[in-house]
Structure 1
């Protein structure tokens, strides 16, 4: 048993065990089974009512794929809960999966905070101040487009535009993508939009715009609120498909090939453009139902072909920040050591491909 495990056990931070367990997507009883303790004992550790022994802490580190040093005190830690983030539905996903996604953002905050000490990340400036309601969703979208000097036409490089304005966009690893599209939070000063791999790039672009709407329209999150969701959708629709531009372009009568061509140009799905036409009074309910049946038959509800103009936008801010920090003396290994995580996890969090394939012995 290493002396470091004994030292960390004496300076144990209960919230770190909770965070690591949530990152692993484990319930307390599941972690207890992996370390040979009871669920009650794990609860006591996390509540600070007792401390794990060095041997138990070592087993925790192995079970949760974290260095033992991760569980020590002395580092700032962000704590998020469901009420502090914009989740679309509380019924569509389990509490365990939500907490896993939130823990990802918590850890990412620590990395961002450390990087901010070495290099200057872009200031948060979306054209409108955060933290106050901005009223009508469509007018807010128009104001932001004007502030960003986007002019007419599609929003090119949506993620890059957000990152240039200080918003951290991240991909959620190891989270059930079937239940989480995206979520966002502005609690910690630098807003974060977290995306899963659910859907194709067009759907993810709409999700990013949707979360931007939440950040601007809803300073007090209300997860699962139908009103908030409608407003965020209205913002995203006007931001990506301005009514004044797309209304005259919509094919009447509706034609799937023509609809698809326009949707590709604006970087949205054919279904999103169809519903935009419905909201603008161009298409009626029966037209939407009939066209959606065609899109379903084509398999486009889940796997729509992606236009060449929008092959998929990948977050790059943190990866570039890490590269710049490396040039100024903060190596990747040093950054991982500072936040007490392994290099593979750090690479995954900031979007740097792992140069070494992970091999496994097959029995």
Structure 2
């Protein structure tokens, strides 16, 4: 396949549709499609975006015939990771298409990179302090509102949640200019929150991989990987800042105080106990006692069982990448894309979405 037309012809042949039917399927005028295939006119970026969306390929593949790394990874991986990579590839391809329409990923990395020569754990902690400073500078807090929305707004990375099955926590993808965090839906909100911070650590550290797959962020074997050590240290310091912990310490930290602190920070008691013991805020004996406390027990001791139940429900819900949804809608509103990519992303029919966005006027002319 030496040209764009060749690749489009191949997709049309694979579909088994006539030129007329294929054109209708991809929302193109048949005469226009025929002219583009013959070389009389060129395919526009919007044309290619429509074809790519319907045929489940990327615009980059249509332009150059090369598969992006995420596509290769998705094709060669099985199990829950394969489902995660498929979604990451889809979202990455959509972002790549939007980039060509003038909507690049609004990624805002930190100016303070981890210092060379320090340990990976120290790099993670330093990166967390810089990230928290940026959040405070923008007038936000990690303990109020949605952490996923905060990361999208303050750092420009997309955050999505999907049903990925047991044994998979999440991934961070950087391919095709995409900055994406994909999390597994789970009934364990503290674990999901830690995974979100962990994946943000990968992105902010600029770890030199197209995708980081985290089947189990607490797996001992995984912790031997330097980038995982850094990401875990980042997540701990990001979610449980040292200053906040020191400020919360009382003369005698009882079980109720500890449970309330875990609820305030929205972390598991075990993770909090490890962090406080690492900072020498509690001794090993107290740490061992608190490590056995469950999240539901902490919520009960703190009188916040209803709040915990709500968080558990929310952590099981799917979430589309917010920035991708926003920019896909913007491209349609600006006339740079058809409605199909937006409808496909939302998972609803084109006609249904059109009736929602463009309601018919009644006899009085009101929309």
Highest Rg: 1 or 2?
A: 2
Task: Name the counterpart of 2:281.
Answer: 282
Q: Secondary structure at the match of 1:188?
A: helix
Select which of 141, 148, 151 maps to 1:159. 148
Listed one character per residue, the Cα deviations across residues 216-257 of structure 1 (whole Å, up to 9, x for unaligned) are: 335234863524333212111211221022123145654343
1:91 aligns with none
Describe how 1:28-107 pairs up with structure 2 within 5 A: 69-70=55-56, 74=62, 77-80=67-70, 95-107=78-90
8 Å contact kept, 1:251–1:259: no
Give 3-state SS (helix, strand or coil) of 2:331's partner: helix
2:124–2:231: 8 Å Cα contact kept in structure 1?
yes
For 1:125-156, what per-residue CA distance to the aligned partner results, in whole angstroms no more than 9, with x for missing partners? 12237899795211121122223316796454
Whether the aligned pair in 1 keeps the contact of 2:193 and 2:267 (CA below 8 Å) is yes
The alpha-carbon distance between structure 1 residues 275 and 319, as it changes in their structure 2 partners (threshold 3 A), is same
Question: 1:178-223 CA deviation, whole Å, 9 max, x = no partner?
Answer: 2111111223222211111124333322211111112233523486
The answer to whether the Cα contact below 8 Å between 2:95 and 2:105 also exists between their aligned partners in 1 is: no
Matched, 1:120 2:99: no
The 3 A distance-change label for structure 1 pair 101 and 218 is same
CA distance in 2, matches of 1:152, 1:109: 28
Q: Is the 8 A contact 2:158 2:322 kept in 1?
A: no
Q: Offset of 1:124 from its aligned partner?
A: 1.4
Q: Is the 8 A contact 2:161 2:184 kept in 1?
A: yes
Contact 1:347–1:354 (CA under 8 A) maintained in structure 2: no
1:271 aligns with 2:263: no
Cα deviation, 1:99-122, whole Å, max 9, x if unaligned, reads: 221121111112122233445355
| Partner Cα distance (1:82, 1:68) in 2 | 20
Residue aligning to 1:33: none
> Per-residue deviation at 1:309?
10
More helix by share: 2
Q: How many residues align?
A: 276
Structure-1 separation of matches of 2:278 and 2:72: 31
TM-score by length of 1: 0.60
Q: Would you say 1:318 and 2:349 are equivalent positions?
A: no
Q: Is the 8 A contact 1:264 1:310 kept in 2?
A: no
Q: Deviations over 1:295-328 (max 9, x none)?
A: 279498xxx8645997858552222223333322
**SS class of match (1:171):** strand
1:170 to 157, 160, 174: 160
Q: Gaps spanning 5+ residues in structure 1: where? A: 1-5, 14-65, 85-93, 337-342, 356-363
Q: In the alignment, what sits opposite 1:88?
A: none
Match in the other structure for 1:213? 201
> 1:115–1:322: 8 Å Cα contact kept in structure 2?
yes
Deviation readout 1:159-194 (Å, 9 max, x if unpaired)? 223212321212234x21x21111112232222111
Change (3 A) 1:146 1:308: farther
Equivalents in 2 of 1:67, 1:186: separation in Å? Answer: 20
CA change 1:83–1:279 in 2 (3 A) is farther
Normalising by structure 2, what TM-score? 0.60
